[in-house]
Amino acid sequence: MRGIHLYLLSAICFSSAVLAAPTKSGKGSFKVQRRRISPRGLSGGAAELGKAYRKYGFDVPPALSNKVSMHSSLALGDPGDRTEQDSKEADDKDDDAGNIPADTQEGDVSFHAPITVGGQSLMMNFDTGSADLWVFSTGLPAAQQTLGHTVFDPAKSSTFKPLQGASWQITYADKSFARGTVGLDTVDIGGAKVENQAVELATTVAPSFLRQEHSDGLVGLSFGSLNTVKPRKVKTFFENIMPTLDKPVFTANLRHFELGAYEFGKIDESQFEGPLTYTPIDASDGHWQIESKTFAVGDGEKQSNPNAKPAIMDTGTTLILADDLVVEAYWSQVEGAEMNDAEGGVTFPCNTQLPDFHIALGPTYTAIVPGDLMNYQRLSLETCFGGMQSNNGGSVQVYGDIIFKSQFTVFDGGNQSIGFAPHK
């Protein structure tokens, strides 16, 4: 009976803490602006492809697995150092408009921005493909706290409150994982604050997470139903701040080799051409998921993908992971393109001019991705890695930053829809 009593008491403590509405303060809109750094130890195309496969539970082909394993062993041997610029306090960079700087890894690998948790500045990945706000913490073994990350220390936060009985765990198909404890603290992004925001503290992580050396954690921007906290899921930062915004939206204005921004509560019409076209989402599993059933290559005719898998719009993924029919139709139009087992994906001669890629984002809008964006990475003087790769028969297609770099995108939480328009 004593065990049952303690379990019920823990559950009651957890329930009362989570059900207490976070206090929001600040602005009806705010912007998270990006800036560029030149970090060490960048991930290659195969590593980014492998990361996406793990995230969505896709089967990893042996050739890709071998390539990623080789890259991983090299990465662990060279954890790299954060630049002096990375360690500056975000408060030093804030301005009256609520703009904060963000880091772009060279080659557009991923985008990061400083936020504060309990007054401590952390460089975070903004990810519309997940719903956990988690950070590297002092709960990790001491040796893992020095591998290129700034760790959050709850003991140094006067506003941190542990969430008794709560835990979280992210597990990928290859058995890699991150897990830990949960607390409530004040999270500040661009001057907009959510008090009592659930923050997940990593206390055990697999080596694959430690290799993500340019990020101190992740801000999940999908829906709370995808959250991994137990025994009860928690709301995301966006879900908590949304009622205070001028509009229940955030926008992704991500650009190739240019500064861009995430903006919450406002749609900056100076950043895109023509009207926005909105498409409804299916958020039943927590994702910003849309239909995508047609495509075209260059000046060719529109083609149908009759068995098209739904597509997840994911700022936390770099590449386009499409159905095989689409991948084969595109790369068959590129002379010299091939499935390159040594590199873990489709490669092509770098001196080839790639055709534009036309892809349906919903039933009424077709995005045009310029051919130069379909060239993800130069592997050598002669060989480049393709920006679109196969989802290997996975249950979804995943549209990552290759798409976003061509489209201004509005994530509308109030109307459960996504809006698209070409960048200006």
Residues 6+ apart with CB under 8 A from 127: 218, 219, 220, 221, 222, 314, 315, 316
Under 8 Å between Cβ of 357 and 371: yes
Q: State pLDDT tens for residues 48-59.
A: 898 899 899 898
pLDDT surpassing 70 at residue 87:
no
Q: State pLDDT tens for residues 382-397.
A: 999 999 999 999 999 9
Q: State pLDDT tens for residues 176-230.
A: 789 999 999 999 998 889 999 999 999 998 877 776 656 889 999 999 999 999 9
Residues 6+ apart with CB under 8 A from 104: 34, 35, 36, 37, 110, 111, 112, 259
Q: Exposed (0-12), middle (13-18) or buried (19+): which is 141, by Cβ within 10 Å?
A: exposed
What is the rounded CA–CA span in Å between residue 389 and residue 51? 13
What is the rounded CA–CA span in Å between residue 304 and residue 411? 26
pLDDT of residue 96: 34
Highest mean pLDDT among 27-36, 60-69, 231-240: 231-240
Q: Which residue has the higher pLDDT, 403 or 37?
A: 403
Among the options 188, 314, 401, 412, which is catalytic? 314
Among the options 127, 132, 323, 401, which is catalytic? 127
pLDDT of residue 109: 53
pLDDT of residue 75: 41
Under 8 Å between Cβ of 154 and 160: yes
pLDDT surpassing 90 at residue 269:
yes
Q: Which residues of 88-100 are buried (b: 16+ CB within 10 A; e: fewer)?
A: eebeebbeeebbb
Report the relative pairing of strands 192-205 and 133-136 from DSSP bridges: parallel
pLDDT of residue 94: 36
Residue 59 appears among annotated catalytic residues: no
pLDDT surpassing 70 at residue 92:
no
pLDDT surpassing 60 at residue 256:
yes
pLDDT of residue 31: 85
Of 236, 229, 150, which Cα lies nearest the Cα of 189? 236
Q: What is the mean pLDDT of residues 257-282?
A: 92
pLDDT surpassing 60 at residue 5:
no
Q: Which residue has the higher pLDDT, 418 or 211?
A: 418
Q: Which residue has the higher pLDDT, 143 or 342?
A: 342
Under 8 Å between Cβ of 154 and 216: no
What is the rounded CA–CA span in Å between residue 47 and residue 53? 10
Question: pTM for the complete prediction?
Answer: 0.85
- Confidence class for position 111, pLDDT limits 50, 70, 90: low
Q: State pLDDT tens for residues 314-368.
A: 998 999 999 999 999 999 999 999 999 999 999 999 999 999 999 999 999 999 9
Q: State pLDDT tens for residues 361-378.
A: 999 999 999 999 999 999
pLDDT of residue 190: 85
What is the rounded CA–CA span in Å between residue 334 and residue 71? 27
329: phi then psi, degrees, rounded to nearest 5: -65, -40
- Confidence class for position 173, pLDDT limits 50, 70, 90: low
Q: State pLDDT tens for residues 9-43.
A: 344 344 434 433 445 555 688 887 654 444 444 46
Q: Report the mean per-residue pLDDT for the chain.
A: 83
pLDDT of residue 303: 98
Residue 86 appears among annotated catalytic residues: no
Of 336, 366, 338, which Cα lies nearest the Cα of 349? 336
Least confidently predicted of 24-28, 143-147, 277-281: 24-28
